[in-house]
Amino acid sequence: MWLIRKKVMMMIMEASKDSYPKEFGAFLRAHDNIIYEIALLPGTIQGNVHVIFPMYALPLDFTYVGSVHSHPSGVTLPSDEDLHMFSNTGPVHIIVGYPYNMENYSAYDRKGNPIRLEVI
């Protein structure tokens, strides 16, 4: 099970609201399965139905454990493109959906299987 600090989840929701109607995206940093920070990757491109991360700019840092991005549609299921990215970028991935409140999110493993994520 993964845990995420409440202030981090609130920051994700606010950043997603600010990016709306475009998708928001960032990387997750954790220690002992507790996500404590998001990291913005310079050069990330936001669109209405995509976020493109310049993966060559991701630093070698083992505290990066996955990604977070928003779905302006409100649906928090991963797309085929999401599943491809999940498989290459860590063990935990979060999708938040419009209207970006503390109840509209889902978490997945690198294969796209739902996992439990608790806000602490």
* pLDDT tens profile 56-77: 788 888 899 999 999 999 999 9
Please report, as a single letter, which amino acid is at residue 46.
Q
Note the pLDDT of residue 13.
Answer: 98
Note the pLDDT of residue 59.
Answer: 81
The predicted model scores a pTM of: 0.95
Strand 34-39 and strand 51-52: pairing? unpaired
3-state secondary structure of 87: helix
The ranges assigned to domains in the chain are 1-44
What's the CA gap between 78 and 94, in Å, rounded? Answer: 9
**Bridge partners of 66?**
28, 92
The H or E element spanning position 25 is: strand 25-31
